[in-house]
Copies of this chain bind each other. A is one copy, B any other.
Amino acid sequence: MTHEPAAHASGSDDRYTRGLAALRLVTGGEHNPVLGPVAETAPDLARFTVEFGYGDIWSQPGLTPRQRQIGTIAALAALGNAAPQLRFHIAGALNVGCTRREIVETFIHTSVYAGFPAALNALAAAREVFTARGDGDEGGEGGEGDTAIAEEPAGGDRYARGLDLLRAVDGPAGPAVVDSLAGIAPDLGRYLVEYVFGDVYARTGLDLRTRELATIAMCTALGTAGPQLRVHLRAFLHVGGTREEIVTLLTQLSGYAGFPAALNAVTAAREIFAEQDAAGNAAE
């Protein structure tokens, strides 16, 4: 298996050309403001970024450009230490067709998995990008701004709404986590239902499948959320995501969070896929 390169391996020239084309999609045709100075000091790292980052991983089939950019900004928001790249990829998300609303929702979602500081700092980066583009008021772009966000559910029976959604997303594993917390940290269990699911997952600005994709990206990038990564790999498949999307996302994240993060998440995915195959065989 390791003795032959995969069939679609290709020469360096192809990869560079393909990478430049992908990069132009992300930059909206503009010169990449990040790579210019890199090329002066480390021309090969600039070349690797184009060849590997865009010619290889970004150009794989398996995810749409919008999915890629949501996954990337979720991962960078969770890492919390790559502000220039986060701004670059927020702009890239807009360039491939993500709405401001989807970007803001992704960072509201970040508050759950990486905490409010990470969410607030990512949102500050988004504000900078939105302002720099000067498309009128920040809430603009056809009703995807403040007004729409303010229409989200506020108050009401957050617990009941959260529990329904927890079941819909995670299946029986979700309420089981809450039950297991009842004996030791009942308020944390309540917040998981009320805040995470009743407030955040209930929002309409990002569909459930994209929320789960962003969750997998964040847990992979953090590298410290193994149990949660497993829960949300299952949840992503449960709400209609595919194995191909998972594998493509984790492969892409090798470039943003490093190969160890990607490889360890693939190990988790392998377990979940095998578990589901075994359950499928048992049911036949």
Q: Which residues of A contact B (CB under 8 A)?
A: 1-6, 9, 11-13, 34, 37-38, 40-45, 47-49, 52-53, 56-57, 60, 76, 78-82, 84-85, 104, 107-108, 111-121, 123-124, 126-127, 130, 138-139, 146, 149-150, 152, 154-160, 163, 175, 177-179, 181-182, 184-196, 199-200, 203, 219, 222-225, 227-228, 247, 250-251, 253-264, 266-267, 269-270, 273
Q: Do B190 and A9 have beta carbons less than 8 Å apart?
A: yes
Q: From known contacts A118-B82, A255-B116, infer whether A159 and B9 are also in contact, taking CB-CB under 8 Å.
A: yes
Q: For A116, A199, A262, which residue has the most chain B Cβ atoms within 10 angstroms?
A: A116
Taking a contact as CB atoms under 8 Å apart, the answer to whether A256 and B188 are in contact is no
Can you pick out 25 interface pairs between chain A and chain B where the beta carbons lie within 8 Å of each other?
Answer: A2-B179, A4-B159, A5-B158, A5-B159, A5-B190, A40-B127, A40-B146, A41-B104, A41-B127, A44-B203, A45-B107, A48-B116, A49-B116, A80-B81, A82-B117, A84-B120, A85-B117, A116-B256, A177-B263, A184-B269, A185-B251, A187-B251, A188-B254, A219-B260, A225-B258
